[in-house]
Chain A
C-alpha cells in the first residue's frame, strides 16, 4: 500500500489543486484511495471534494496556564520565570482574548497578571512555581478532526477524506498530522483501500516533518521562480534528511524557461525523479471556481498534462514497490 505525499515548501504552487485531481484520477482508475489533508492549519482540499462529515472529534493537545485572579497575590514570579513572555500585566478586557478568564470585548483597564494564550506554550513552570497556587492548567482544545465522504454519492465517491482544522493561533503540532495519518492507515484495512494520497502543508517545519517521516513517495510541486527553486532546494534537503524518495513536478512551466532549466539541472544533480510539467493556465482557477478538479473540468491541455503526471506517479510507485 503506497502512501503518497504531495508537498512543495513554497505555498501556492498547486499542491491542493493537484492532489484533488489525482484523487479524481485514482478513483476513476478504480484505485480506491484514502484522501488525507495534512495542512491542518489552512486546509483547502475539502473545498474541491465537498465532503459530508461522517465523524468529527475534538483535538485536545497539551495544556495552558490560566491565572485565577481571585487567588493571585500579584508577586510577579510567573512573569519572571516564563521564557515565552506570556505573562502580561494590566491591559484591557479586549486584549485578554480567547480562553482567558474574564475575556470579552471592552476597553476598561484591568490590573493584575494574566497569561496570553497565544504566547503560552504550556510548559507548566509558572504553575509549579506560583507560591499562591493561583495558576490552573486545563487541557487545551486545539481543533477538530474529521472523517468525511467525498462527493458523487455513496457508490461513486472518490474515497473517504481524513482532514482537520486547527483552531486559529494554535500550535501547528505534528501530533494532529500523525493522528490523521494513523486514521488514514486504519481506513486502508477497514475499507479495503489501496492507496493513501495526502496533501501536505507548506514550509519545512514541524507539520511537514510529521507528514514526511516514513512516507513511501513524495511528490514535490514547484514553480520556475526564484522562490520556487529556493524552497525546492530546502524541501529536497529535508527529504534527504528523512531518506524519503522525491519526485518533482514543475507547475507554471512556461513562465520562465531559464528557471525551468535551472530546476532540471538541480533535479539531475540530486537524482530526483522528474515527473513532468504543467502549463501556466487560468483553467486551473476556472475549475476551482466551479468546485471541480482540473481533470473533471478539462481533458485537453493542462487536463491531459495532469493525467500524464498521475500515470507516471503510479508507475513510479509500482517500480518502487517492486524494487
Chain B
C-alpha cells in the first residue's frame, strides 16, 4: 500500500504526520520525501544515508556541422528551449522539458543529448524504516522530472521488498503535488481548522478527487480557529482520520526536531490509530471496487 500525505496549505503538518506515521508503521516500510523543493522529513527521521546519486534530464545538443537550419526542432519545441536565428542554433537547456521531440523530428539526425542536473536522490535507513528522498538543485525550476526519478526508484524498492510506502508530498494542488499523490492507494489530507486551512482543503479535494483514490483528513491544531472544517468534511464526504490538538508543547517538540508520536503514549496511540484508520479506508475502497466489478 502506498499512502500519500498531502495538503493544499503549506505548513499544515504534512511532515509532522509523515514522520510520526513512519515511526509507528510496521515494517517493511519505506518513507519517501517527494517535497523535493524543500525536503524536511530527514530532519525528523534522521536516517543514516547509505547512498546518493545525481539526477539528470536529457537536453538537446546540436552538432551544427551537419545542420541545415531547417527549423524543424525550433518549430516543434513547445517550451522555447531551442531556436534558429539564421545560421545559428541556440539552445536554452533550463527551459527544456526533456521530451525528445527536437531529436525525433530532426531530419539530419544531428541532435544528441547533453544533460542538466536536476538534483540528487538520496536513500538510507532510519531504524527499521527504509528512507528515500529527492533534493532539487537550488536554481532548478522544475520539480516533476526529479520526482519521476525518485518514484521510479521507489517502484524498484517496492517490487523488491513488498514494503508499504509513505509519501510526504509537496504543498499545493498543482502539477508537483498531483505528481506526488497520483500513484498512491490512499491520500491523507492534512489541514488546520482555520480559514486558510478550509479554503486550501477544498482546493486539494477538488484537485485530487479526479485521481479516484480514497481520501481522508487529518485535522492538525484542532481546537484552534473555528469549527467550519467539520461541516466542510462532512459535506464533502471526507472522513476525519485523526485530530491532533492545538498545543504549544507540540510546536515546541517540532521545533526541537522531535517526532510527535514519540513524545508521549497518548500521541503514540493517536498515530497508531491513524495508521489503522488509513488502512481501513484503503481496504474499504478495494472492497467497494470489487463489489462494483462483480
Which residues of A from 192 to 230 have beta carbons under 8 Å from B? Answer: 201-206, 208-209, 223-227, 230
Flag the segment in A145-153, A234-242, A300-308 that touches B.
A234-242
- Cross-chain contact B139 with A128 (CB below 8 angstroms): no
- Over the window 124-162 of chain B, the binary record of Cβ atoms lying under 8 Å from chain A Cβ atoms (1 yes, 0 no) is 000000000000101111110000100000000000000
Q: Which of A113-159 contact B (CB under 8 A)?
A: 118-119, 121-125, 128-129
- A222 CB to closest chain B CB, in angstroms? 11
Q: Residues on B close to A: CB < 8 A?
A: 8-12, 15, 37-38, 40, 43-44, 76, 78-79, 97-101, 104-105, 136, 138-143, 148, 170-178, 182, 194-196, 199-200, 203, 206-208, 210-212, 224-226, 246, 248, 251-252, 254-257, 292-293
The closest CB in chain B to the CB of A129 belongs to B104
Most buried by A among B139, B172, B256: B172
CA distance A84 to B142 in the complex (A): 14
Interface residue ranges of A142-198 to B (CB < 8 Å): 166, 168-172, 174
* Distance (whole angstroms) from the CB of B212 to the closest CB of chain A: 6
> Which of chain B's residues have a CB closer than 8 A to the CB of A83?
98-100
- Pick from B76, B173, B175, B203: contact of A128, CB below 8 A: B76
> With a CB–CB cut-off of 8 A, which chain A residues contact B175?
118, 169-172
By a beta-carbon cutoff of 8 Å, the part of chain A in contact with chain B is 9-13, 16, 41-42, 44, 47-48, 62-63, 81, 83-84, 94-95, 97-98, 107, 118-119, 121-125, 128-129, 166, 168-172, 174, 201-206, 208-209, 223-227, 230-231, 234, 237-238, 241, 252, 255-256, 259, 280, 282, 285, 288-289, 291
A residues in contact with B178, CB < 8 Å: 118, 168-169
Q: Quick one: closest B residue to A17, CB to CB? A: B196
Across the interface, A226 reaches (CB within 8 A) one of B44, B100, B177, namely: B44
A9 touches B172 (CB 8 A): no
| Interface contact A289-B195, CB-CB below 8 Å | yes
Task: Identify whether the interface residues of A are mostly helix, strand, loop, or mixed.
Answer: loop
Complex contacts, B76 vs chain A, CB 8 Å: 124-125, 128
Q: In the complex, what residues of A have CB within 8 A of residue B100's CB?
A: 81, 83, 125
Least Cβ–Cβ distance between A294 and chain B, in angstroms? 13
Taken together as a complex, chains A and B put the C-alpha atoms of A223 and B251 apart, in Å, by 11
Q: Are B8 and A42 in contact (CB under 8 A)?
A: yes
B146 (CB) vs chain A CBs: closest residue: A205
Q: Which residues of A contact B40 (CB under 8 A)?
A: 10, 226-227, 230-231
What chain B residues lie within 8 Å of A169 (beta carbons)? 173-175, 178, 207, 210
Which residue of chain A has its CB nearest to the CB of B37? A203
Q: How far is the CA of A226 from the CA of B46 in the complex (A)?
A: 11
A78 to B101, CA, bound (A): 12
- In the complex, what distance in Å separates the CA atom of A226 from the CA atom of B178? 26
Name the one of A11, A129, A209 contacting B10, with C-beta atoms under 8 angstroms.
A11
Q: How far is the CA of A129 from the CA of B9 in the complex (A)?
A: 40
A256 to B194 alpha-carbon distance, docked (Å): 24
B72's nearest neighbour on chain A, judged by CB, is: A128
